[in-house]
Amino acid sequence: MTDELPLAKALNAGLRKALADDPKVLLMGEDIGPLGGVFRVTEGLQAEFGERRVFDTPLAESGIIGTAIGLAFRGYRPVCEIQFDGFIFPGFDQITSQLAKMTSRHEGRVTMPVVIRVPYGGHIGAVEHHQESPEAYFAHTPGLRVVSPSTPNDAYWMIQEAIASNDPVMFFEPKSRYWNKGPVDFSASPSPLHSSRVVRTGTEVTVVGHGAMVNVLMQAAELAKHEGTSIEVIDLRSLSPIDYAPIIASVQKTGRLVVASEAPGSVSISAEIAATVTERAFYSLEAPVLRVSSFDTPFPPAKLETVFLPDADRILEAVDRALAY
């Protein structure tokens, strides 16, 4: 069965399925109960599953993560919501110093099936601390899995796969895409959680991104088509680990790669991809790997976000530079 759903509703459906399938799954976070969360992703779930399985927490991110670690020790599978990306840092120590290391610390005898949902990214006209892209901090941390869906279908399936994982998963949700509709196939077999995917085929340049950036890349590819340029688009889906096989295969075909992200470019996931592709596919490259990112500054006031965030024009400018070599 297939239905058209916004990404937020697809996540809601995926969480509902996980709650129904496993009584050990719990949802916890600020205002996720009767309110249904700031973005209404958990709307209706407390009424359906009760206050013992979907519950509000104090405004204390460190406490949320610490409680989830304790619940995981007792055999539960907690799913934490961080209300906005910029609010995750009070819980950063619990995530990187405790949650990520717990299984290694116990030589594999302890699992940490904890999912941390993080609405992230710009394009919503919000204030400081509400439009960050902090995913590189967590992809850099051994012991954490980091993923980000770009479509409602991926959101539905990936949240269930993340909850089923025995490792902690940072689940970054592109908040600017929450209300964009797309088909959700409830009967299909999902792609593996940590797999990248070619979402548009092309022959001249490969462009790679994740989350909301995938839609921007698709816009750029459509504009380039009208100018006679063929662009292949790859959705990363997983940021740690990264599935490089489709990326390398595409670069071997096109000879050029542009990596795009809303996050600042220095010491970023984009930089890691550029370095790895250069190592693994150097002799296939006909131009340097180019990166398009936000600037290495704090996120600006909302009126300047369209200047700060990469758009289709900046992607196409990089494509033109790659083709000029």
The enclosing domain of 38 has a CATH number of 3.40.50.970
- Active-site annotation holder among 106, 123, 129, 130: 130
- pLDDT of residue 113 exceeding 90: yes
**53 shares its domain with 162:** yes
pLDDT band at 131 (very low <50, low <70, confident <90, very high): confident
**Angle subtended at Cα 198 by Cα 275 and Cα 321, rounded to the nearest 5 degrees:** 50
Residue range 143-153: mean pLDDT, rounded: 98
What's the CA gap between 70 and 45, in Å, rounded?
23
Predicted local confidence at residue 286, as pLDDT: 97
Predicted local confidence at residue 127, as pLDDT: 74
Closest C-alpha among 226, 198, 211, 201 to residue 316: 226
Which structural domain, as residue segments, surrounds residue 54?
A: 2-185
| Count of domains for the chain | 2
**Would you give the distance in Å from CA 87 to the centre of its chain?**
16
Predicted local confidence at residue 158, as pLDDT: 98
**96 shares its domain with 160:** yes
List, in order, residues 6 or more apart from 157 with CB less than 8 Å away: 14, 190, 191
pTM, entire model? 0.96
Residue that is last in its domain, among 153, 185, 217: 185
Is the dihedral angle over the CA atoms 319, 321, 323, 325 positive or is it negative?
A: negative
Query: Active site includes 140?
Result: no
Per residue in 268-300, pLDDT tens? 999 999 999 999 999 999 999 999 999 999 998
Residue 190 lies in a domain: no
Residue that is last in its domain, among 150, 185, 220: 185
**59 shares its domain with 146:** yes
Q: How many CB atoms lie within 10 A of CB 246?
A: 18
Residue that is last in its domain, among 185, 211, 244: 185
Per residue in 175-225, pLDDT tens? 999 999 999 999 988 899 999 999 999 999 999 999 999 999 999 999 999
